[in-house]
């Protein structure tokens, strides 16, 4: 019995640690994303931010507009008004029952940006909410880049800073430190505002937090149900482990 419980606890701790390592990978400090999947108003604001800023280039190929409307409490008319700003590759107006695709194809993206444009349906599951939150807040001016911008979380990123009007323009300040190998290293110190945006720092952080919250929801719309069901599954497994142990003792009691 003790051995079985030890194996279960070890498996749970291993999964937790592996998730932490994945989220913190990349060598940059990740700020905590203030997400809450039970906050429907935050998800609504995030959905509109996604439609207005991301959906012109990035598709969400595995999500349908009307699924979002159903989960967030919007009618089909509200979904069309708030989220559908694009047309499909055939030029037809996108309908609420369709997947969240974009008209931009990979050939054009390769010419315009030098790379294919990734879909964002499960980006939060692949990168983690903290990484996305940090990424969208750490663009900085860099004349060496084609777009004039670089990013702390994603060095030499090809994507331009589409939210710069809201955040403003900032420059990264680095300090020089001597590494253990005897070579100088440039370590990020702070950001300095060069040109103010239409939002304050606090307002922009909330805006990005809502956007990331929606992307976390989009990556797994049934996450809340899964978590709720998971508690009952663990309770069942614990009870079943006791029953299995008792059966094992009963079957083997006469074996010497």
**91 with 216, same domain?**
yes
Range of the domain at 110: 30-221
Q: How far apart are the first and last CA of the chain?
A: 20
Are 80 and 187 members of one domain?
yes
Q: Does residue 34 sit in the same domain as residue 128?
A: yes
Note whether residue 9 is domain-resident.
Answer: no
Does the residue 10 lie in any domain?
no
Model pLDDT, residue 90 = 54
Q: Is residue 7 part of a domain?
A: no
pLDDT at 96 over 70: yes
What would the two tokens of residue 226 be?
């899964």
- Is the pLDDT at 114 greater than 70? The verdict is no
The whole-angstrom distance between residue 72's C-alpha and the CA centroid of its chain comes to 18
Least confident segment among 112-116, 178-182, 219-223, 251-255: 112-116
3 state SS of 46: helix
Is residue 21 very low, low, confident or very high in pLDDT (cuts 50, 70, 90)? very low
In this predicted structure, what is the pLDDT of residue 184? 80
Do residue 130 and residue 56 come from a single domain? yes
CATH code of 41's domain: 1.10.760.10
pLDDT beyond 50 at 183: yes
Question: Could you tell me if residue 79 is inside a domain?
Answer: yes
Question: In this structure, are 156 and 37 located in the same domain?
Answer: yes
Q: Are residues 216 and 172 in the same domain?
A: yes
Report whether pLDDT(226) > 90: no
SS3 26: coil
- Is 14 inside any structural domain? no
Structural domains in the chain (count): 2
Q: Say if residue 96 is in the same domain as residue 179.
A: yes
Q: What is the mean pLDDT of residues 180-197?
A: 88
Q: Interior CA angle at 75 toward 205 and 62, to 5°?
A: 65
* Domain presence at residue 74: yes
Q: Is the pTM of this model over 0.85?
A: no
Residue 16 domain flag: no
Burial of 135 (0-12, 13-18, 19+ CB in 10 A): buried
The C-alpha atoms of residue 39 and residue 49 are separated, in whole angstroms, by 16
- Indicate if the pLDDT at residue 246 is higher than 70: yes
Residues 56 and 160 in one domain: yes
Same domain, 216 and 226: no
Read off the pLDDT band of 109 (50, 70, 90): low
Averaged confidence pLDDT in the chain: 85
Higher pLDDT, 25 or 235: 235
| HSE value, Cβ hemisphere, 13 Å, CA-based, for 230 | 7
What is the pLDDT confidence band of residue 88, given thresholds at 50, 70 and 90?
A: low
Asked if pLDDT for residue 247 goes beyond 80, the answer is yes
- Same-domain status, 92 and 199: yes
Residues 138, 74 share a domain: yes
Mean pLDDT within 54-78:
94
Residue 133 counted as domain residue:
yes
Residues 226 and 202 in one domain: no
The yes-or-no verdict on residue 80 having pLDDT over 50 is yes
24-35: pLDDT as tens digits: 444 689 999 999
At residue 25, the pLDDT reads 44
Average pLDDT over residues 120-148: 95
Answer whether residue 191 shows pLDDT above 60.
Answer: yes
């Amino acid at each position: 019995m003790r051995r079985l419980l030890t194996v279960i606890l070890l498996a749970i701790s291993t999964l937790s640690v592996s998730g932490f390592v994945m989220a913190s990978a990349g060598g940059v400090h990740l700020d905590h994303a203030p997400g809450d999947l039970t906050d429907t108003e935050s998800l609504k604001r995030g959905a509109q931010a996604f439609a207005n800023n991301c959906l012109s280039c990035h598709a969400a190929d595995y999500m349908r507009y009307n699924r979002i409307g159903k989960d967030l409490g919007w009618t089909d008319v509200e979904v069309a008004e708030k989220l559908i700003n694009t047309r499909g590759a055939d030029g037809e107006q996108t309908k609420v029952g369709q997947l969240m695709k974009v008209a931009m194809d990979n050939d054009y993206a390769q010419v315009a940006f030098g790379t294919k444009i990734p879909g964002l349906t499960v980006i939060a599951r692949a990168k983690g909410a903290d990484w996305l939150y940090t990424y969208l807040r750490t663009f900085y001016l860099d004349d060496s880049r084609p777009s004039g911008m670089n990013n702390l979380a994603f060095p030499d990123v090809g994507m331009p800073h589409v939210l710069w009007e809201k955040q403003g323009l900032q420059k990264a300040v680095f300090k020089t430190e001597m590494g253990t190998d005897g070579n100088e290293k440039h370590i990020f110190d702070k950001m300095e505002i060069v040109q103010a945006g239409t939002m304050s720092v606090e307002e922009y952080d909330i805006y990005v937090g809502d956007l990331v919250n929606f992307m976390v929801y989009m990556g797994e719309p049934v996450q809340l149900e899964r978590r709720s069901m998971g508690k009952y599954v663990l309770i069942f497994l614990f009870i079943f482990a006791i029953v299995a142990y008792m059966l094992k003792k009963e079957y083997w009691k006469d074996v010497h």
